[in-house]
Structure 1
Amino acid sequence: MFSMRRYLRVPNELKPSELFKQDSLSPGKITLQIILLQIFYYSTAMFLFYSWGKLVGYKIEMKKWLISWESIDFTNGYGLTISMLWLADSLICVIFLTVIVGRSKLAWDFAITIHAINFIVVYVYSGKLPSFSWFFLQFLSSLILIFLGTWTTRWKELRETFFEGMIDQEELHSIGSNTHPGEPVPVVRDLESQR
């Protein structure tokens, strides 16, 4: 008897149950990474805003600074400072993106997701679309996270892949202990022993 089932066989590697077992594609892991990045994104901003507010003597208005777009204005010092703090937040969050995500091809997705969630939060809080200044600031912030995040995660991937274990720590320690102060430490690797 002719059976279509035999001809439509899906390889085990492509079955959904196998795909979701992979670490980078697991919905649970991706959700956790998004939540952690969002927490660090807002926590870093809160720390920066609180420190700046205390240092300058402003009344601490976290709701206004974090989830409102009205204070983002490029025509006065107050608005420019808030904007610079948001950009500093993005610079710091590159570290979190590198540690939490760690994959260069996922850095774009997570950077854009952080800003998309931020847009939703700001829109729900204010009830209207943010200003052009706010959108421009989010664009600059996402560029920082995308490009620096991709670069740092790529660096991390390459370092772990190609450079991990190139210098034997015991060998380096024994060579370093036989040198005199001020003398450069020779790093020699016996390539024949690795083959």
Structure 2
Amino acid sequence: MEQRKQNKYFDENYSPSEQIPRAFSVAFEEVKTGKKGEVRVTINETNQLGDIINDNSSVSDYYRYHDIFHYSFATILGWSPCTRAMMKRKRKSDPVTDENEDGARATITEEALSMIIFNEAKRKNYFLDSAKVSKTTLRIIKEMTENFEVKVRTSQDWEKAILTAYRIFRHLISNNGGVVHFDLSMQKVIYQIQAN
């Protein structure tokens, strides 16, 4: 826990334009295009983050809400190369950090981890029926992130981030979207039903 306090933010020595915002709100809005459900994600009510997402699957499994994982990782772990890319908060002032921590390998790793975790989550009713992430998944996470700054986070930190993300994920599914508030300083993620 002491290590977490010493290195709360990986970007604290960078300008605000290269930091993950310490507090932000994101809206997940279901949009209907044809037969597939899709989700538009916006920050500050108007700025779309990334592309409109569908499940990219023949089976509807709600993966279209998976960006919640990235924002929750950013909030709980202080780490999410995907969030940095979507928010245009890469640390370009430091070419080594930009390439090694915020570059393609890091974002691909985070997306792969999201899919590995998602496969376990589906078997566990999106963690509704289990308050534990398997030791195997946590071991894989630690192995896959050992070359990145997030290696200092513990398996307990990862489990908290995962279970927090899936608690919100279940709300998004139940309510066909919503607004999520993220507070990095308190490591809190709060769901709000979106007003019509």
The TM-score, its normalising length taken from structure 2, stands at 0.32
More helix by share: 1
Which is bigger in relative contact order (C-alpha 8 A, separation at least 6)?
Answer: 2
Look at both structures and tell me which one has the larger radius of gyration over its CA atoms: 1
TM-score of the pair, normalised by structure 1: 0.32
